[in-house]
Amino acid sequence: VTEASTGTVSGLIAEIADTGTDAVRGGYSRPVFSTAELELRSWFVDRAEQQGLEVETDRNGLIWAWDAPGEARDGAIVTGSHLDSVPGGGAFDGPLGVASALVAFDLISQRRISGRPRAIVVFPEEEGSRFGLACLGSQLMTGAVTAERALALKDVDGTTFAEASAGAGLDPARMGADPEALARIHTFIELHVEQGRGLIDLDRPVAVASSIIGHGRWRIVITGEGNHAGATQMADRRDPMVAAAHVVVAVQSLARRTPHARATVGRLTPTPGGTNVIASRVEVWLDVRHPDDTVVHALLEQIRQAATRAAADEGCGVVLFEESYSATVDFDPLLRDDLVDVLSHAPVLATGAGHDAGVLKEHVRTGMLFVRNPTGVSHSPHEYVEDVDAEAGAAALADCLERLIAQ
């Protein structure tokens, strides 16, 4: 077998530049198990096999590409990320970690490093943008979410995760906690584009993660009375959209009064959603983050009270559901210090974004690397990584993996 050199990270990102482009929003829409994401998954399999890695897809749809001398797979050093995106996302959130892993494995094999087995892993549905639950693949593997709950999740078209998984060639009956797959991982390192301005301000290309700031998603359901937009007097309305508008404004002002908090309404879903119809119901999707979990819950309580008042003023009802919650995750401090040491005193940064690394951290030694994003913007077509930083990231990942493989 001749193993072709993988080349550069920017070269790999360029290979998938036409996959899943979104003509309406700009950037990329690559929901899990869509045509675009399945294309990216097979691109990864081809690339990994060309590099001489042994590829397997596990029962939860995680793809593993192994470099395992003697086929021993216990005590493995694992790196990787995801290929799915948010609607209208950037080119780097996810694919940068996968492409950097391929290049880093190439560098390691050129250096003929011996030691622990190693693998690249690709997680499905990291963003939660199709089925509403972020890090679904890693949560399934670790048992953080049950197969029963995951399989019943539906996308906007009513397709269940079970149906989409079967469509992608997986067997829904076999999905769920996979302690054997998890037990093979000794250490997991995820490289990711930075989702913020930390490295711009520090004028450095690569950082080591300290923690993932606690975050959660809530669904505020406001119910009123659906009616005709022309035939219903203004005084006779119980309009949940008006209450929702007050909630959106309250979320902003309450979060601004809470130091270091971030609270966002990024999605409103009216029912039935017609221009000439007063909605009968509006779902307000809320995202709240803060390093201190007690602050998150205090802020949420203020938002709940504001929503109750806003609904009552419109004669509407309101119920708030917690869809997911992840407490602040501190990565392994000894591993973090090791990575800082390997990378000649790379800066250490926290992130406000969730990652599969945050799920794995509860089970295995886990760390993360961030690569500078010159716009500081993510989950947007404006997310960017300079070629020179992308290669610096892959080289940093290779150096970190080399240290861990030899340990």
Among 67, 84, 93, 389, binds Zn ion (CB under 5 A): 93
Which is nearer to Zn ion, 343 or 357 (by Cβ)? 357
Question: Which span (91-99, 231-239, 266-274, 333-341) binds Zn ion, by CB under 5 A?
Answer: 91-99
DSSP string, 218-286: EEEEEE---EETTTS-GGG---HHHHHHHHHHHHHHHHHTSTT-EEEEEEEEEES--TTEE-SEEEEEE
Which is nearer to Zn ion, 98 or 243 (by Cβ)? 98
- How near is the Cβ of 359 to Zn ion at its closest, in Å? 12
- How near is the Cβ of 82 to Zn ion at its closest, in Å? 6
Q: Residue 90, interface with Zn ion (CB under 5 A)?
A: no
Under rule CB under 5 A, how many of the chain's residues touch Zn ion? Answer: 2
> Helix or strand or coil: residue 97?
helix
Which is nearer to Zn ion, 94 or 226 (by Cβ)? 94
Q: Measured between alpha carbons, how far is residue 97 from residues 6, 102, 221, 399 in Å?
A: 14, 9, 36, 15
Q: Residue 94, interface with Zn ion (CB under 5 A)?
A: yes
- How near is the Cβ of 380 to Zn ion at its closest, in Å? 13
In whole angstroms, what is the distance from residue 158 CA to residue 71 CA? 42
Which is nearer to Zn ion, 66 or 123 (by Cβ)? 123
In whole angstroms, what is the distance from residue 329 CA to residue 175 CA? 26
In whole angstroms, what is the distance from residue 111 CA to residue 99 CA? 19
- How near is the Cβ of 192 to Zn ion at its closest, in Å? 6
Which is nearer to Zn ion, 94 or 214 (by Cβ)? 94
Q: How many helices (H) and strands (E) does the chain have?
A: 13, 15
Q: Taking a C-beta distance cutoff of 8 angstroms, is the pair 193, 92 a contact?
A: yes
Which is nearer to Zn ion, 30 or 118 (by Cβ)? 30
- How near is the Cβ of 370 to Zn ion at its closest, in Å? 11
Which is nearer to Zn ion, 48 or 98 (by Cβ)? 98
Question: Which span (90-98, 131-139, 288-296, 338-346) binds Zn ion, by CB under 5 A?
Answer: 90-98
Question: Which span (64-72, 93-101, 167-175, 179-187) binds Zn ion, by CB under 5 A?
Answer: 93-101
Q: Which value, in Å, is the radius of gyration of the alpha carbons in the chain?
A: 22
In whole angstroms, what is the distance from residue 284 CA to residue 268 CA? 5
Contacts 24+ apart (CB under 8 A), 196-201: 196/349, 196/351, 196/352, 196/373, 196/376, 196/378, 197/376, 198/347, 198/349, 198/370, 199/347, 199/349, 199/370, 199/371, 199/372, 199/373, 200/372, 200/373, 200/374, 200/376
Question: Which span (65-73, 92-100, 266-274, 395-403) binds Zn ion, by CB under 5 A?
Answer: 92-100
- How near is the Cβ of 128 to Zn ion at its closest, in Å? 11
- How near is the Cβ of 98 to Zn ion at its closest, in Å? 10
- How near is the Cβ of 279 to Zn ion at its closest, in Å? 33
Residue of closest CB approach to Zn ion: 93
Per CB under 5 A, residues contacting Zn ion are 93-94
